[in-house]
Amino acid sequence: MSLEQSKLANGLTVVSHALPEVETVSIGLWIGAGSRSEAPGEHGIAHFLEHMAFKGTTRRSAQDIAEEIEAVGGELNAATGVDSTAYYARVLRKDMPLALDILSDIVVAPRFDRIELARERGVILQEIAAAMDSPEDIAFDLVQEAAFPGQPVGRPILGTAESVRSFKRAHLGTYLSAHYHGPDMVLAAAGAVDHGALMAEAERRLGSFATEAAPPPAGAVYAGGVRRSDKTFEQTHVVLAFEGTHYRHPDYFTAQICAGALGGGMSSRLFQEVRERRGLCYAIYAFASGLSDSGMFTIHAAGASDRAHELFAVIRDELVKAADKGFRPEEVARVKAQLKMGLLTGLESSSARAEQLARQILIHGRLLSTEELVEKVDRVEAIDLQVLVERMLASPASLATVGPIVQVARFDRVTEKFAVPSTRAA
């Protein structure tokens, strides 16, 4: 097992993990800029840029990009997040230079052809329309807006139909040149990779990015509040969130374990109480998500509209019980085992490992050993989870509902116990 890290002259980090037992390599370019880096008037531009990167370069057409990677049996994809954007591929060992050539080409020399731009605008508008047909997507967008109102981190990554229709070629080029800088980028590879060969290719293809770091985005300010949509669906979706921990916070792993204990599987408290004992929903889950400077602890469930008040009341009661009485040691041990299993499983997947390496560099500025991560998990005690829930309940909550609520008055009486301001969303 060989883990190596280097830097290009422009500050771009190159990291690799050689896994001799595999014949493929997963390789990707991660940029420490996403939707939160968008300026006023740029809502959705980070995601639009990610799409347009595949629509032709000065050397390749959109069809060329697709045909070249598939001709060698490879896969090519990308993703835009709040804090980062990623472009990645998976190919056979011998085709690593081709994969890196394509990946570098689409970010170094995108053409932003006007015809392709108009065509992809239509694709993204359909992606937005699809999200508006998904009650879960609507609910998560609303709770994010309630948590971080009036801020890029509180807006949908996709943008709006209005903002997407307004983008021109210049918007794409401006965002790319402002945020795709060497010190904010990581080239990560895992699997059948030779670090020396990777560095040589990277030096040839990725040395043109700016050498100074891009300006950091404005800090996230958590507020909390209520957003509701009465759009009709078969179920009413309820999403409850609290301010969580950022990636580097000492309690980050405490939040992960707490989410697992409350709603991380069939043995979790919320699943057992809400679904198994009361039959109020089909699925319920909790998760802790982090940003570079903030985060959210989120619970999601969906059930019948005439029992939404009961569903929410049970969730609230379980949180109060956790704050008052804490967690049993066996609960915490079970979730720790699940979390460590996930961490170690990631070492067996070249794509998951490459992403893990890149995120560690972007978040921590260094690589974290598996032993260090496991130690962080093992260090968490049951009392830490209880303190975390107490702290959450003492702070403003964020609540989003999508779908009708038959007994609104009863539901509102439950939500008032969280003492959050009420607004409405169309």
The residues pairing with 226 across neighbouring beta strands, listed in sequence order, are 399, 422
> pLDDT tens digits for 259-281?
999 999 899 999 999 999 999 99
Q: What pTM was computed for the model?
A: 0.93
Residue at token pair 């049996």? 73
Q: What is the mean pLDDT of the chain?
A: 94
Name all domains of the chain by residue range, CATH numbers in brackets.
2-205 (3.30.830.10), 225-418 (3.30.830.10)
Distance between CA atoms of 240 and 418, rounded to whole angstroms? Answer: 10
- In single-letter form, the type of residue at position 4 comes to E
Q: Quote the pLDDT of residue 21.
A: 87
Take residue 193 and report the two structure tokens written for it: 């990779």
Distance between CA atoms of 113 and 119, rounded to whole angstroms? Answer: 10
Catalytic residues: 50
Confidence class of residue 1 from pLDDT cuts 50, 70 and 90?
low
Take residue 400 and report the two structure tokens written for it: 């989003």
Q: Quote the pLDDT of residue 419.
A: 55
Interval 96-110 mean pLDDT: 97
> pLDDT tens digits for 121-139?
999 999 999 999 999 999 9
Spatial contact of 320 and 273, defined as CB atoms under 8 Å apart: no
First to last CA, the chain: 54
> pLDDT tens digits for 45-67?
999 999 999 999 999 999 999 99
> pLDDT tens digits for 359-404?
999 999 999 999 999 999 999 999 999 999 999 999 899 999 999 9
Q: Quote the pLDDT of residue 344.
A: 87
Q: Quote the pLDDT of residue 176.
A: 97
> pLDDT tens digits for 8-38?
999 999 999 999 889 999 999 999 999 999 9
